[in-house]
Amino acid sequence: MRIAKSPAPSTSTGHLLEVRRVSRRFGGFVAVDNVTLNVDEGEILGIAGPNGAGKSTLFNLISGVPFGPTDGEVVFDGVRIDTLPAHRIARSGMRRTFQSEQLFRSLSVSDNIAVANQYLGGRQRSKGDVQAALETVGITRYRDDRAADIPLLAKKKLMIASALVSQPRLLMLDEPAGGLNDEDQAELILLLRELQKGGLTLLIIEHVLSLIRDLAKRMVIMSAGEVLVEGTPDAVLSDPRVMEAYLGKAAA
């Protein structure tokens, strides 16, 4: 049996999450290039950028799913985690969702939450824990419905509930508003605000820039695998480099 090596000790600077000069190469292609960012306890940090900027790949490198970085370090709560297998990273108090629907479609909503936590959390939760997760995200009425049959917003909330049942400290959301109409986006924003008020730290990738503007006090724009701009949403979104990254250089 192969035993995973313990992570190397690391000196924390007080941030909950520290991404230090992280890169990922696939042959000659550099998907993420020397990215450094920090997330503080209780913060909501937004990450945006054009398609192909490396945002979801960065999430992969942080969570270890399905791969870690080629270079650099990821430190969570003062412990280096990029050398750990993905299930141990998840059990350290970090959870993530994905752009695409990651559900057991034939199972009930409540069974989805129980199965997801047993796999990632490493222990069986009580029915009370599952019920609490359902209530937190507001999908109790769907608890016995098949996951395939519930509305899109409820599916988004189910993925969040499946992460919340194990009581993580950091929740990473990859385009949670994708496909939602304005009314559903507004409901999602209210939920995420409540989660932050409850003490959860959030790292959000999102193409819907209004969602990040409404939620985050700090955001990062990535382009071509690098951090292009970092700052408050108003400062970042008014930066000419951001407009150029999204639309290209204006014709001469």
pLDDT digits (tens, 9 = 90+) for 176-211: 999 999 999 999 999 999 999 999 999 999 988 889
Q: What is the mean pLDDT of residues 213-232?
A: 96
151 Cβ neighbours under 8 A, 6+ residues apart: none
Burial of 180 (0-12, 13-18, 19+ CB in 10 A): middle
Looking at residue 190, its pLDDT comes to: 97
Write out pLDDT tens, residues 4-27. 333 444 444 579 999 999 999 999
Q: What is the mean pLDDT of residues 66-88?
A: 95
For the chain, helix (H) and strand (E) counts, in that order, are: 9, 10
What is the rounded average pLDDT for all residues in the chain? 90
Sign of CA dihedral 201, 112, 90, 203: negative
Looking at residue 13, its pLDDT comes to: 57
pLDDT over 80 at 41, yes or no: yes
CATH H-level, domain 1-93+169-247: superfamily: P-loop containing nucleotide triphosphate hydrolases (3.40.50.300)
Phi, psi of 127 (to 5 degrees): -60, -30
Phi, psi of 217 (to 5 degrees): -90, -10
Looking at the chain, the whole-number percentage of residues with pLDDT higher than 90 is 79
pLDDT over 90 at 230, yes or no: yes
Looking at residue 5, its pLDDT comes to: 36
Question: Distances in Å between the alpha carbon of 46 and those of 16, 165, 206?
Answer: 15, 23, 7
Domain-by-domain residue ranges, the chain?
A: 1-93+169-247, 101-167
- Check: CB of residue 17 under 8 Å from CB of residue 79: no
Write out pLDDT tens, residues 123-155. 555 678 899 999 999 999 999 999 999 999 999
Looking at residue 245, its pLDDT comes to: 87
